Amino acid sequence: MNSLSPVEVAHRFIRSLIRKGDLCIDATVGNGHDTIFLAEQVGEKGKVLGFDVQSSAIESTRTALVKNQLAARVQLFELGHETLGAELSEEEKGCLKLVVFNLGYLPGSDKSVVTQSQSTQQALEQSLVNLQPDGAISLVAYRGHAGGNAECAAVEAWVDQLPADSYFCLRYERWTHQRGLTPVFFWIQRRDNDIA
């Protein structure tokens, strides 16, 4: 097997989970690659909510969605993901199939706008309590930039305290010559009625 990147592994997990009609969140919209991927997976009856603090990210993603005829199934918020719980309607609460995080800064953009451990954890908490019974969180953390390693460690500590009989969790990283600096993929899935 070829050396799969954490994002490629994340997309394999996501593809196997999502069904047409699902409700998903892209918690870090950026250039919109994950937003478009999710919008394709959920189909025309599904819905994707996207969050980013940068207006340029929201606008370029909006343009890309229109170009790909996917805009009708996506709602974009120029807001931090730490507010996502408050933006869910009563019908959407507890119905999330998937929340996707791609942490760090937007490549080719302002590197000072970067995700932060505290707001990431707030968003993770709000995501977790709004997952549907087999819902999941997919997260890729980058460790090469200032603060990235600490944020990844904070995510790992947060995942580590989740009860193992309630959540199926895994961590994937490639061991290369850049050991300790490569991105890490985390998958956290509710395991209601699953085997232990």
Judged by the rule CB under 6 A, the positions of this chain that interact with ligand SAM are 27-28, 30-34, 51-54, 57, 80-82, 102, 104, 106, 113, 115, 119
Q: Give the residue with the Cβ less far from ligand SAM, 52 or 173.
A: 52
Q: Give the residue with the Cβ less far from ligand SAM, 53 or 95.
A: 53
Nearest approach in angstroms of CB 92 to ligand SAM is 18
Q: For residues 72 and 59, what is the distance between their CA atoms, to the nearest angstrom?
A: 15
Q: Give the residue with the Cβ less far from ligand SAM, 119 or 182.
A: 119
- Beta-carbon count within 10 A of 196 CB: 6
Nearest approach in angstroms of CB 93 to ligand SAM is 19
Q: Give the residue with the Cβ less far from ligand SAM, 103 or 191.
A: 103
Which runs of E-coded beta strand occur in the chain? 23-26, 47-51, 74-77, 96-102, 131-141, 167-173, 184-190
Q: For residues 38 and 102, what is the distance between their CA atoms, to the nearest angstrom?
A: 13
Nearest approach in angstroms of CB 191 to ligand SAM is 26
Q: For residues 140 and 155, what is the distance between their CA atoms, to the nearest angstrom?
A: 10
Nearest approach in angstroms of CB 195 to ligand SAM is 32
Tokens of 143: 């460790």
Q: For residues 7 and 142, what is the distance between their CA atoms, to the nearest angstrom?
A: 11
Nearest approach in angstroms of CB 78 to ligand SAM is 9
Q: Give the residue with the Cβ less far from ligand SAM, 46 or 104.
A: 104
Tokens of 178: 């850049």
